[in-house]
């Protein structure tokens, strides 16, 4: 087993299950903190701000500060700053996305890009505005491609479904930022000033977490505490697969 | 030019443009009425009832009764009656769809099918319910696959976009009833008791109207009064293409 200099963690299924902390992960992360080994968290959730996510982790006994949290909204802001820094946006989303994109102008008059994050107050009018702007040439940018997500109120459609509606209406392929894309991992590495050669991505879900790490070209550790239980079908294997973080020495 | 015994018409682009009647079509249809030649109308609009559509046509000076109108909602009811007659449904849509499906039970407890028509009051909760039911095995049925449609309030996303959201969330292929599918044309032929060999479908839009006629195996007349102006790219040509219905003898 390789010794890594820094760690990135998925959240749900890796660090907690809904409101239940995963004890092995909590222990491991706090050992990293005590040993001054850098770590961060990478989440497709676009609705919460890094501050809100950090507060939630703190409430579970995990040492985490907002700058250690890379949400798909912050990664989207990072992408836009790099690729279209002076663009005016039409935004569909919740607090976490609007906060992340606060530095950009917003307009309903020929926006350069339509950015869509999960919006549980989505309306036909918002979708129609987005589609009209994209049909008129605006880029279509998705914070993440989640199909369905687990929330306090059960399984609900994720952001990918809202984006699919606009993509279908406009026959346009969206630019997708979150996992399993590399952009969100790259944004975390940049924000935390990590060396990708010595950084490992820890996650439970092959199709999102491990693929995101693989796409970003960094090592991956599969923890068998969440969604993916059988890796045999996958052509590209994670670097390691372990029952839980109790089985990983720092 | 062949003499047909009955006619089916698309509406927008063929009979009117929004609120503007197309004079050549009005004249032609009223000549059919005076000559006792059967005719009907086939529309992907799922939100209005046949009665409402007939009233609108009457207001434009066209003789039309509700039984002559085949909406995608009525075609969906016809499909369900044939394929899953005792099914309990979860319905997303507007008045025209709920009215068409009034004979079916509605449930939020393991519905056999989720039926989606355009709903301008769509919510994240409705989409999530639909996705949960489909994920649990309900069939996903779309009244029509419209991407964007023109309304009084401009271009808005059509029903296909709402269906795409649920299809994406559940990785499920929908059963699609409206044009360019054959089912809605077949439902019109059945309801009007027409002989398909002597019936022609008149429409302006190749990708919806003419393809629907072609898929249903009946002759088609392309009128150059609407969306499709150039047929050269299409492999399967309509039976005829004419500038307007002024150019068609009964």
Residue spans of beta strands (DSSP E) within A69-169: 69-71, 88-92, 105-106, 113-116, 139-142, 148-151, 154-157
- Span B85-176: which CATH code? 3.40.50.1000
Contacts of B127 in chain A (CB under 8 A): 122, 157, 161
pLDDT, residue B250, reads 86
pLDDT, residue A250, reads 86
Q: pLDDT for B85-116, tens place per residue?
A: 999 999 999 999 999 999 999 999 999 999 99
Distance CA A20, CA B206 (A): 55
pLDDT, residue B154, reads 86
Whether the predicted pLDDT of B152 surpasses 90: no
Q: Does domain A86-176 have CATH number 3.20.20.140?
A: no
Give contacts of A 200-229 with B, CB under 8 A: none
To the nearest whole percent, how much of chain B has pLDDT over 70? 100
pLDDT, residue B59, reads 96
Q: pLDDT for B23-69, tens place per residue?
A: 999 999 999 999 999 999 999 999 999 999 999 999 999 999 999 99
Distance CA A67, CA A230 (A): 33
Distance CA B241, CA B143 (A): 28
Instruction: Tell me how close the Cα of B157 comes to any Cα of chain A, in angstroms.
Output: 5
Q: Which residues of A are catalytic?
A: 10, 12
ipTM over 0.90? The verdict is yes
pLDDT, residue A128, reads 98
pLDDT, residue A18, reads 87
* Burial of B187 per CB tally in 10 Å (0-12, 13-18, 19+): buried
pLDDT, residue B249, reads 94
Mean pLDDT of chain B: 97
Distance CA B62, CA B42 (A): 15
Distance CA B33, CA B97 (A): 28
Distance CA B182, CA B94 (A): 23
Contacts of B154 in chain A (CB under 8 A): 128, 132
Instruction: Tell me how close the Cα of B114 comes to any Cα of chain A, in angstroms.
Output: 15
Average pLDDT estimate for B149-166: 93
pLDDT, residue A191, reads 97
pLDDT, residue B23, reads 96
Interface contact flag, B147 A168, Cβ < 8 Å = yes
Distance in Å from the first CA to the final CA of chain B:
10
Interface contact flag, B123 A127, Cβ < 8 Å = no
- Span B6-44+180-247: which CATH code? 3.40.50.1000
Interface contact flag, A170 B156, Cβ < 8 Å = no
The structural domains of chain B, with segments of one domain joined by +, span 6-44+180-247, 85-176
Query: Which member of A120, A167, A170 has the closest CB to residue B124?
Result: A120
Rg, chain A, Cα only: 18
Q: pLDDT for B122-133, tens place per residue?
A: 999 999 999 999
Q: Does B150 contact A at CB distance below 8 Å?
A: no
Interface contact flag, B168 A147, Cβ < 8 Å = yes
A124-to-B123, B157, B241 alpha-carbon distances in Å: 8, 7, 36
pLDDT, residue B189, reads 98
Contacts of A136 in chain B (CB under 8 A): none
- Asked if B6-44+180-247 and B85-176 have one fold, the answer is yes
Nearest to B93 by CA among B150, B158, B12: B158
DSSP B210-229: IHHHHHTT-EEEEETTSS--
Q: Strand A6-9 relative to strand A39-43: parallel, antiparallel, unpaired?
A: parallel
Distance CA A130, CA A169 (A): 10
Kindly indicate the confidence band of residue B139, based on its pLDDT and cuts at 50, 70 and 90: very high
Q: Does B5 contact A at CB distance below 8 Å?
A: no
Whether the predicted pLDDT of B179 surpasses 80: yes
Average pLDDT estimate for B146-167: 93
Residue A197 CB: number of other CB atoms within 10 A? 10
Interface contact flag, B169 A148, Cβ < 8 Å = yes
Four-CA torsion A85, A87, A92, A96, nearest 10 degrees = 30
The list of chain A residues with pLDDT below 70 reads: none
Contacts of B155 in chain A (CB under 8 A): 128, 131-132, 135
Interface contact flag, B165 A164, Cβ < 8 Å = yes
Distance CA A137, CA A135 (A): 6
Q: Number of Cβ pairs closer than 8 Å across A and B?
A: 94
pLDDT, residue A48, reads 97
């Amino acid at each position: 087993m390789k010794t890594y200099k820094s760690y990135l963690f998925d959240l749900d299924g890796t660090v907690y299950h809904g409101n239940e902390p995963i004890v092995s992960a909590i222990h491991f992360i706090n050992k990293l903190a005590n040993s001054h080994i850098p770590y961060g968290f990478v989440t497709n959730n676009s609705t919460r701000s890094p501050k809100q996510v950090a507060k939630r982790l703190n409430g579970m006994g995990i040492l985490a500060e907002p700058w250690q949290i890379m949400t798909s909204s912050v990664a989207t802001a990072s992408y836009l700053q790099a690729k279209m820094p002076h663009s005016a946006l039409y935004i569909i989303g919740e607090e976490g996305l609007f906060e992340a994109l606060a530095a950009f102008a917003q307009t309903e008059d020929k926006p350069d890009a339509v950015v869509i994050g999960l919006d549980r107050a989505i309306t036909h009018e918002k979708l129609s505005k987005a589609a009209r702007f994209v049909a008129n040439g605006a880029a279509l940018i998705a914070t993440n491609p989640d199909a369905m997500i687990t929330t306090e109120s059960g399984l609900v459609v994720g952001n990918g479904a809202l984006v699919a509606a606009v993509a279908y209406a406009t026959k346009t392929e969206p630019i997708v930022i979150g996992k399993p894309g590399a952009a969100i991992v790259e944004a975390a590495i940049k924000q935390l000033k990590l060396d990708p050669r010595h950084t490992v991505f820890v996650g439970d879900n092959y199709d999102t977490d491990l693929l995101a790490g693989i796409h970003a070209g960094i090592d991956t550790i599969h923890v068998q505490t969440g969604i993916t239980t059988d890796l045999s079908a996958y052509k590209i294997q994670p670097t390691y697969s372990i029952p839980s973080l109790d089985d990983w020495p720092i």
